[in-house]
Amino acid sequence: MSQALIVIIITGTITIDPAKRGACLAGSVPLQAATRSDEPGCITYVFAADPVDDSAINVCELWEDADSLNAHFLHANYFGMRQLFGESGITGAVTAKHRVDATAPVYVDGVATASF
């Protein structure tokens, strides 16, 4: 049984000087919280430390639709995150957006499955 459709996923990795990563992530918490609570269509908005690569910040965003994502790209929260990463000395970023046509649980009756 499929659940509600998630239309757009953004994933990626931002690289930053490991000595600055903790402060950068701490500074991003209010912006992450504001994006989640203030921007319609935002389902998930997480920028988190990679536990294996101390220079990496992993990005995971879920948006209900393209209109919501476009509005985010014009929102003060988005510009605040860009400014924060710039001031923190971002050294690289690779992100991608994905359109999704189906969503289903990974576990069905306690068994992991790739089926939809």
State yes or no: pLDDT of 1 exceeds 60.
no
Q: Using N-to-C axis directions, what is the helix angle for 18-38 and 76-87, rounded to 10°? A: 180
Confidence (pTM) = 0.88
State yes or no: pLDDT of 4 exceeds 70.
no
pLDDT digits (tens, 9 = 90+) for 10-32: 999 999 999 999 999 999 999 99
Q: Label residues 67-94 b or e (16+ Cβ within 10 Å = b).
A: ebbebbeebebbebbeebbeebebeeee
Quick count: other Cβ atoms within 10 Å of Cβ 57? Answer: 23
Q: Hey, what amino acid is at 106? A: V
State yes or no: pLDDT of 41 exceeds 90.
yes
Both tokens of residue 7? Answer: 């239309």
Both tokens of residue 88? Answer: 């923190």
For residues 39-68, give the mean pLDDT.
97
Per DSSP, the three-state class of 95 is: strand
pLDDT at 3: 55
